[in-house]
């Protein structure tokens, strides 16, 4: 039988380079020497290597399969299988099959990955790991001035107070002369404001100009005290002027409910304004002799709201 096998092998190797030594074996089309790191080196540019092919039942029926044994299964889940277990306890694995994961991410045999609830936290995301082009968006453009909304739209943030409100405060001392001096009403100044956050119009500290015609709610509050050079309990009565004419005057309050060295005033009105109108706030000292000093702690203030 050995002689017949040797004869058949000799015929098969005719025309094929065959090299054998005590260290390794090489089979090639050009007779090249096998690589020193391989026990068997098969070299070809037109043919492949066929390893044993069998059914799943036949693979599982192999007795005491060696660790690393490789076969090709031809039915059920077709593919290469190798034994990563031991002869007594085989553990067949398919080459290239999805490997199961445990922990924050798990995978199914069909390679479907599932991320556990609350698994993706900031410490687990590497810096710069998520780039803008990986975020799904429906419209808009990502930039330094936009943000991504929950519906996938890149939008420009709405600035503070851009919801149609202007708030201005007074923090600089203003003294209002008494009415007995026959001075006209004083134009009040509100030096702390920010036009960047105002979309309803422009303001320069004394004059407000609306960006569009509409209905506006205007509220003025004043708090005043006696100047350092003396006088009595003095209130500043505010008024609202449109295009140089006062459309309404407020009231002054000398109530003892407020500290006796202070007095208050206020006015609120709703009016229609055109884009070309100018609004200023006037103040009058209704006393005959005493001067009034407006507060500088933000309690003297102006609020203008555009009503939708």
CA atoms within 13 A on the CB side of 217: 8
Q: 197: which residues sit within 8 A by CB, 6+ positions away? A: 159, 160, 161, 162
The answer to the question of residue 140 being in a domain is: yes
Say whether both 185 and 295 belong to one domain.
yes
DSSP state, 295? -
Residues 78 and 184 occupy one common structural domain? no
How many other β-carbons are positioned within 10 Å of the β-carbon of residue 117?
6
Q: Are 249 and 135 found together in one domain?
A: no
Region of 31 (left: φ > 0; alpha: ψ -120 to 50; beta: rest) is left
User: Is 48 within the bounds of a domain?
Assistant: no
Domain shared by 90 and 102, yes or no: no
Identify whether 299 is part of a domain: yes
Dihedral class, residue 37 (left if φ above 0, else alpha if ψ from -120 to 50, else beta): alpha
**CATH number for position 264:** 2.60.120.40
Whole domain around residue 70: which residue ranges?
A: 53-94
Is residue 36 domain-shared with residue 140, that is, in the same domain? no
> What are 39's two structure tokens?
């026990």
Residue 202 included in any domain: yes
Does 219 reside within a domain?
Answer: yes
Examine the domain organization and report whether 302 and 194 are in the same domain. Answer: yes
> Are residues 103 and 177 part of one domain?
no
**Tokens 């709201």, residue?**
305
| Structural domains in the chain (count) | 5
Question: What end-to-end distance do the CA atoms of the chain give, in Å?
Answer: 104
Which 3-state string (H, E, C) describes 133-197?
A: HHCCCCECCCCCCCEECCCCEEECCCCCCCCCEEEEECCCCCEECEHHHCCCCEECCCCECCHHH
pTM over 0.85: no
Measured distance CA(17)–CA(35) in Å, rounded: 14
Q: Are 167 and 275 in contact (CB under 8 A)?
A: no
Both 119 and 169 in one domain: the answer is no
Q: Are residues 133 and 112 part of one domain?
A: no
Residues 137 and 181 in one domain: no
pLDDT in 10s for each residue of the chain, 308 residues = 444 444 444 444 445 565 666 678 888 888 888 888 988 888 888 888 899 999 999 999 999 999 999 999 999 999 999 999 999 999 999 988 766 667 777 777 666 778 888 877 888 878 887 777 777 677 778 777 788 887 888 887 765 545 578 899 999 988 888 875 556 788 999 998 875 556 788 899 999 999 999 999 999 999 887 665 555 567 889 999 999 999 999 988 765 555 555 788 999 999 999 998 999 999 988 776 778 888 888 889 999 999 88
Q: Considering only CA atoms, which of 21, 18, 49, 47 is closest in space to residue 36?
A: 21
Do 87 and 119 share a domain, yes or no?
no
Residues 57 and 170 in one domain: no
What CA–CA distance (Å, rounded) separates 175 from 193? 20
**For residue 164, how many other CB atoms are within 10 A of its CB?**
17
């Amino acid at each position: 039988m050995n002689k017949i096998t040797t004869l058949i092998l000799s015929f098969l190797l005719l025309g094929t380079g065959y090299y054998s030594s005590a260290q390794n074996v090489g089979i090639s089309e050009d007779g090249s020497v096998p690589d020193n790191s391989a026990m068997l080196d098969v070299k070809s540019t037109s043919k492949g290597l066929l390893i044993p092919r069998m059914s799943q039942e036949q693979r599982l029926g192999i007795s005491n399969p060696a660790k690393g044994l490789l076969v090709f299964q031809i039915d059920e889940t077709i593919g290469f299988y190798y034994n990563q277990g031991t002869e007594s306890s085989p553990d067949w694995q398919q080459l290239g099959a999805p490997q199961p994961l445990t922990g924050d991410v798990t995978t199914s045999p069909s390679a479907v990955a599932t991320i556990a609830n609350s698994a993706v936290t900031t410490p687990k995301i590497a810096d710069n790991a998520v780039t803008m082009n990986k975020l799904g968006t429906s419209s808009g453009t990502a930039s330094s001035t936009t943000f991504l909304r929950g519906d996938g739209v890149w939008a420009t943030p709405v600035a503070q107070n851009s919801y149609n409100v202007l708030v201005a405060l007074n923090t600089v001392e203003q003294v209002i002369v008494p009415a007995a001096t026959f001075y006209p009403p004083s134009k009040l100044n509100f030096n702390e404001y920010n036009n960047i956050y105002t979309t309803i119009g422009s303001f320069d500290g004394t004059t407000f100009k609306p960006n569009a015609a509409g209905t506006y709610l205007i509220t003025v509050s004043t708090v005043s005290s006696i100047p350092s050079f003396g006088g009595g309990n003095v209130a500043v009565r505010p008024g609202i002027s449109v295009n140089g004419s006062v459309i309404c005057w407020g009231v002054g309050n000398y109530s003892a409910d407020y500290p006796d060295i202070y007095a208050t005033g206020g006015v609120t009105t709703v009016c229609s304004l055109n884009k070309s109108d100018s609004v200023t706030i006037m103040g009058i000292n209704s006393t005959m002799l005493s001067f009034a000093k407006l507060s500088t702690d933000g309690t003297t203030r102006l609020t203008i709201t555009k009503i939708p």
